[in-house]
Amino acid sequence: MSSAIVGPFVPELDRPIWLSLSGQWQGQVDFLRSADGGATMLPLTIAGERWGRFVGGTNEAVADESEAGATYYLAVTLLGGALTYRVAQ
């Protein structure tokens, strides 16, 4: 097993942030947001429920940022295989 925090990804404001995960991998990837330069990384939630956790391939818009200085990270826990990721706008 291997774990890593990848980032920061600094988004342009008011544009969707796309996450693509591909490859033959097992594990999980959490999309995290920070408003303090990475000192605190929080998971995305909707109505208090965790959102932004992936256990398979994806290609979707995951956030739309409006706060200057916010950054995003991937918390990757691989149990096996090889993961390819892309965060883009």
Q: What integer is the mean pLDDT of 24-37? A: 97
pLDDT band at 39 (very low <50, low <70, confident <90, very high): very high
Provide the b/e sequence for 76-86 (b: ≥16 CB within 10 Å). bebeeeebebe
- Assessment of whether the complete model's pTM goes beyond 0.95: no
pLDDT digits (tens, 9 = 90+) for 72-83: 999 999 999 999
Provide the pLDDT confidence category of residue 87 given band limits of 50, 70 and 90: very high
Convert the pLDDT of each residue in 54-77 to its tens digit.
999 999 999 999 999 999 999 999
For the chain, the maximum distance between any two Cα atoms, rounded to a whole number of angstroms, is 36
